[in-house]
Structures are given as C-alpha cells and as structure tokens.
Amino acid sequence: MKLVYQVDDGVGAITLTNPPYNSLRRPRFEDIDVLRGFLARDELRGVVVRGDGRHFCAGADLVELERLRQEPEALARELDQGRELLEALGLATVPVVAAIRGSCLGAGLEIALACHFRVASENAILGFPESSLGLMPGLGGTAMAPRVLSRAAAIDLLVSGRMIDASEARDIGLVDRVVPTRDVDGIARELLVTLVERRPTHVIRAVMEAVHNARRLSPDAALREEGRLFLQVARETARQRLEEGDR
C-alpha cells in the first residue's frame, strides 16, 4: 500500500492507496521517518486519513501475510514496525480524523483506531475478522479497542470476529459520527476546520502533546509537562503578538 500526502490550507490528507480495497501488503506499510516528517510539518493543523476509492482499508493482504507467517522472525519485526507507525499517528500533535467508507477491517480498523476521531459513511462495515482466520489483531487492536469501547464491546468484536455496520459502530462508540457516503470526506475535513480554526498552531500542538502525556506518563510527570508546555505557549504567544505590534 502507498500513502499519498497532501496539505491544503493547513489541513492535511493521508490517502491509503492500494485499490480496490487498499489492503496492507505488509504490516510496515510506510517508512516511519516519512510519516513523522509529514506530521511535523509547520503548516499542518490537522489531518484526515482516508482510503482511495470506495473503501478505507480491508485489512492485510492475505497472500502476503501467509508468506510472512512462514518467517516468524521477519513477521515479528514487521509487526513491531507497523505498531510504531500507528503509535506515531496516535501521538500526532495535531488532531487526526479517520474518514471511513466501505470496508474498515482488521489492520484497517487498527489504523482508524489510532486516529483521534472517526467519521463513518452509511455504507461502512467495521470489524476484526482475524479470529475467523486463526489469527488475532497484531498492530495494537487489542490495546486500542478497549480504550475506545467498553471492555465487553471490545471483547465481543475481537473474539467473535463479527462485522458491524456504521449504525452499530456509532451506538457502541467505535465511530463518532455516521454521515451520507458522498459527504464523509467533506464532513471529516469540516470537523477539523471547526476544531482548529483561529487557533494558533503552537497552541494546538502543545495541547495535543499534553493530552498524550496524560496517557504515556505518570500523573505527576504529566502535570509537570503541562506546566512546561503552558510557559512555552505563553512565551510564543507573547512573541507573536509583539511581532504583530511592530508591523
């Protein structure tokens, strides 16, 4: 799968491209430095992750996965690198919205779960079908699903392997909004624009970093970092206002 990157007026788009289903040929579906470089771009204030065409991502390429299963050490390295990619997406210091249409299964749902918001089209189908293949999620799905869903709902999807429609996904909290299929990309972008408009980039990034710190650091360390970020933001805001006054 290829990732295509674009930025338009501060809102980025990452398009998953491997038609028709945008399946992942390998767990390491991108170079980590390329993804991190895009997420760190100065002008970026939010990102929409979308699939090329009718589907978001239908999961792993089963032929390639079967080949990798014959090389357990290589597969373990690939899975580690794939999880690193999703961690980079989840820890992005700008809001990330998944625009989900069509199939969002297995690794595709793990990509969507790494995003901070999920907007689904009315025709979306979501689930973890790995158990029916004698497998289980390998890119962090068992860790991410219980953060978003109740434990019971997460276990249901992960163990049963059943697929659900957008309406049920909304009801259990797996997606935030369900919208007409033709509107999913536009509404995902609109969500971002409404969230970040008139907010300086340095404020957005500091807030996002503080939110992530609340999960990855101890409570005391997270609060100390919040204090440091507060002072950093205050200094940068003062500097920018001083520059504006000199114009």
CB 79 within 8 A of CB 129: no
What is the percent of the chain where pLDDT is above 70?
A: 99
When pLDDT is cut at 50, 70 and 90, the band that residue 244 belongs to is confident
Of the given ranges (28-42, 66-80, 103-117, 134-148), which has the lowest mean pLDDT? 66-80
pLDDT digits (tens, 9 = 90+) for 3-30: 999 999 999 999 999 999 999 999 999 9
pLDDT of residue 65 exceeding 90, the answer is no
What is the torsion angle, in degrees rounded to the nearest 10, for the CA atoms of residue 177, residue 183, residue 189 and residue 192? -30
* Residues recorded for the chain: 247
Residue type (1 letter), 8: D
Which residues, in sequence order, are bridge partners of residue 118?
Answer: 98
Phi-psi region at 22: left, alpha or beta (left = phi > 0; alpha = psi -120 to 50) = left
pLDDT of residue 114 exceeding 80, the answer is yes
pLDDT digits (tens, 9 = 90+) for 209-241: 999 999 999 999 999 999 999 999 999 999 999
Instruction: Report the C-alpha gap between 231 and 226 in whole angstroms.
Output: 9
Per-state percent for the chain, helix, strand, coil, to nearest 5: 55, 20, 30
Catalytic pick from 66, 130, 225, 244?
A: 130
* Annotated domain spans of the chain: 2-196, 201-245
What per-residue confidence (pLDDT) applies to 191?
Answer: 96
Residue 226, classified by CB atoms within 10 Å of its CB into exposed (0-12), middle (13-18) or buried (19+), is: middle
Whether 84 is catalytic is: no
Element containing residue 78 per DSSP (H, E): helix 72-90
pLDDT of residue 246 exceeding 80, the answer is no
CATH ID of 2-196, from 3.90.226.10, 3.40.50.970, 3.40.250.10, 3.40.50.1220: 3.90.226.10
Catalytic pick from 87, 110, 122, 168?
A: 110
Which residues, in sequence order, are bridge partners of residue 127?
Answer: 105, 163
What per-residue confidence (pLDDT) applies to 243?
Answer: 86
pLDDT digits (tens, 9 = 90+) for 154-190: 999 999 999 999 999 999 999 999 999 999 999 999 9
Token couple for 103: 């199939």
What per-residue confidence (pLDDT) applies to 247?
Answer: 65
Whether 197 is catalytic is: no
pTM of the model: 0.96
Instruction: Report the C-alpha gap between 192 and 188 in whole angstroms.
Output: 7
- Angle formed by the axes of helices 107-114 and 72-90, nearest 10°: 30
Instruction: Report the C-alpha gap between 105 and 118 in whole angstroms.
Output: 14
245 Cβ neighbours under 8 A, 6+ residues apart: none
